[in-house]
């Protein structure tokens, strides 16, 4: 007879758990036979002593089958997931890019988490856009139209919801095997045949250094392979916001501008890289470079913009947003933060920047908070740029009653969150550090 006590003790002592023990424990948690405090103790033992790739696969498997799993009646189904960053809006660009190239893109996206924004919150800035389709509708739309975007549902990997909640309050989030099982159980249940995983690294990401990011990438690829999925991992920079806009409506505008070919270079390049990866994994391009070329053509021809517009309309959103950003909720007040000296921007604290947007109301401080879609920050300068005294560095988009908060924020940004140097910084962060593909 298995017991929670003995399983916890085994992991506490650094021994490998069997598939049977892991399944018994998680199924016991779901059935109310294993207590939250026992799960928490096991999570801490995993955090401290690690989990082998076999244990990680067993955990992923039991979490994956804790809810519904989808199986599409279609080919070329590839999804993308990002571990989360500031101003990361690539989903709105790469999904239509890949779909315009023939990839079927089933996106089940998340809401904001801590200092990072969420795809679902952002797209809900578009008036009328529905992110709560049933799984049956989700599957039908994907098979017929090739692109659909919904929010996470309790029907997919419900074990993750319980375990994530415990990790969040027991300081066990930053564990590579636990992150792997959490992300992959949801992604595998969503039925894509290939998955492109954008792993963010830097001061605005879960993974603070490249060694950690590389370990997570390997763990995610290996887990995907065990479940017969084609995998691509991309390690990309998160030491400053991606693109220039941070905040829900502002990010929708920047995404549409990018689909019109007028987006910031970093956002455009990363979106093409990831979309090209999706085209390649789907089998519609022989190489990643050929996939990128196809994605670029879909951008240039305007086809991807059309695909995005059609998706908005299909999901109940007001597609006029493509030509009229005025229909989005926007803040009426703007505060320009200007450089107080001549120099170069050396460093940005991306996590702090994300937290400022949360404070303005662009994210939730507690689960019941209502999002203010219009607030946020737009950056006019990024790391490595030269600034002259008095020149705008960023604009804070805020509401009437936030003037005091905004003055303090401007101070913090200039004095604490953005560092300056008198000479041009020698080493700028690269946009993309590594890309690896594994075929099952
Ligand atoms: N995103 C997830 O879904 N799970 C994690 O553990 C971390 C990021």
What is the rounded CA–CA span in Å between residue 21 and residue 169?
Answer: 24
Strands (DSSP E) found in 181-316: 194-201, 230-237, 245-246
Kindly report the protein residue whose alpha carbon is nearest to atom 8 of ligand 1: 83
Burial class (CB in 10 A: 0-12, 13-18, 19+), 301: exposed
Catalytic residue among 115, 186, 200, 214: 186
Among 182, 185, 187, say which to mutate for ligand 1: greatest number of ligand atoms within 8 Å of CB: 182
pLDDT along the chain (440 residues), means of 10: 96 98 98 97 98 97 97 95 95 98 96 86 98 96 97 94 91 94 96 97 95 98 97 98 98 98 98 98 98 98 98 98 98 97 97 97 88 97 98 97 97 97 94 97
Please report the sign of the dihedral spanned by the C-alpha atoms of residue 302, residue 305, residue 307, residue 310.
negative
Q: What is the pLDDT of residue 378?
A: 98
Active site residue 186: yes
179 CB within 6 A, ligand 1: yes
Report the atom number in ligand 1 closest to the C-alpha of 164: 6
Q: From atom 3 of ligand 1, which residue's Cα is the shortest distance away?
A: 183
182 lines ligand 1 (CB under 6 A): yes
CA distance 409 to 89: 23
- What residue's CA is closest to ligand 1, atom 6? 179
pLDDT at 112: 83
Domains of the chain listed by start with CATH number: 4-50 (1.20.970.10), 78-324+432-438 (3.40.1030.10), 328-421 (3.90.1170.30)
Q: Which atom of ligand 1 is nearest to the CA of 173?
A: 6
**DSSP structure string for 66-94:** TS-----SSS-BEEEEE---TT--THHHH
Strands 432-438 and 376-379: unpaired
Is residue 81 among the annotated active site residues? yes
Query: From the CA of 179, how far away is ligand 1's center (Å)?
Result: 5
Q: How far is the CA of 293 from the centre of ligand 1 (A)?
A: 31
- Longest CA pairwise span in the chain (Å): 72
Testing ligand 1's pocket by substitution, the residue of 85, 115, 162, 164 carrying the most ligand atoms inside 8 A of its CB is 164
Q: How far apart are CA 170 and CA 163, in angstroms?
A: 10
Judge whether 85 and 200 are in contact, CB under 8 Å.
yes
pLDDT score, position 117: 84
167 catalytic? Reply is yes
Q: Is 205 in the pocket of ligand 1 (CB under 6 A)?
A: no
Q: What is the predicted pLDDT for the residue at 116?
A: 84
pTM of the model: 0.97
Q: 13 an active-site residue? A: no
Kind plus residue range of the DSSP H or E element containing 242: none
Query: Distance, CA 183 to ligand 1 centroid (Å)?
Result: 5
Distance CA 220, CA 225 (A): 9
- Which ligand 1 atom minimizes the distance to the CA of 183? 3
- CA-to-CA dists, residue 346 to 240, 243, 314, angstroms: 11, 17, 44
- Does the C-beta of 116 come closer than 6 Å to ligand 1? no
């Amino acid at each position: 007879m298995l017991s929670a006590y003995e399983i916890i003790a085994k992991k506490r002592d650094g021994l490998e758990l069997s598939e049977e023990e892991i399944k018994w424990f998680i199924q016991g948690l779901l059935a109310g036979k294993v207590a939250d405090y026992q799960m928490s103790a096991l999570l801490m033992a995993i955090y401290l002593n690690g989990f082998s790739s076999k244990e990680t696969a067993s955990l992923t498997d039991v979490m994956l089958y804790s809810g519904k799993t989808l199986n599409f009646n279609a080919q070329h189904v590839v999804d993308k997931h990002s571990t989360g960053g500031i101003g990361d809006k690539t989903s709105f660009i790469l999904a239509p890019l890949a779909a315009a190239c023939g990839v079927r893109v089933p996106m089940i996206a998340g809401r904001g988490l801590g200092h990072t924004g969420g795809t679902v919150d952002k797209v809900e800035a578009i008036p009328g856009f529905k992110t709560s389709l049933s799984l049956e509708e989700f599957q039908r739309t994907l098979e017929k139209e090739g692109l659909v975007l919904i929010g996470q549902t309790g029907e997919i990997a419900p074990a993750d919801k319980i375990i994530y909640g415990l990790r969040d309050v027991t300081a066990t989030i930053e564990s590579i095997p636990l992150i792997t099982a959490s992300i992959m159980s949801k992604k595998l249940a969503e039925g894509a045949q290939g998955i492109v995983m954008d792993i963010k690294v830097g001061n605005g990401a879960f993974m603070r250094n490249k060694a950690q990011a590389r370990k997570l990438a390997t763990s995610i690829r290996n887990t995907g392979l065990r479940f017969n999925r084609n995998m691509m991992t991309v390690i990309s920079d998160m030491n400053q916001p991606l693109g220039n806009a941070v905040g829900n409506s502002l990010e929708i505008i920047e995404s549409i501008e990018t689909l019109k070919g007028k987006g910031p270079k970093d956002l455009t390049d990363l979106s093409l890289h990831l979309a090209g990866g999706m085209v390649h994994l789907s089998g519609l391009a022989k190489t990643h470079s050929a996939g990128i070329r196809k994605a670029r053509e879909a951008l240039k021809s305007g086809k991807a913009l059309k695909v995005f517009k059609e998706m908005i309309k299909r999901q109940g959103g007001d597609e006029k947003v493509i030509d009229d950003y005025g229909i989005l909720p926007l803040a009426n007040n703007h505060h320009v933060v200007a450089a107080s000296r001549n120099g170069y921007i050396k460093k940005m604290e991306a996590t702090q920047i994300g937290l400022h947007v949360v404070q303005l109301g662009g994210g939730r401080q507690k689960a019941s908070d209502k999002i203010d879609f219009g607030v946020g920050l737009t950056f006019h300068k990024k790391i490595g740029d030269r600034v002259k005294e008095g020149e705008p560095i960023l604009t804070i988009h805020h509401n009437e009653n936030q003037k005091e908060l905004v003055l303090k924020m401007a101070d913090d940004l200039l004095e604490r969150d953005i560092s300056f140097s008198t000479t041009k910084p020698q080493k700028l962060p690269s946009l993309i550090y590594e890309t690896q593909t594994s075929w099952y």
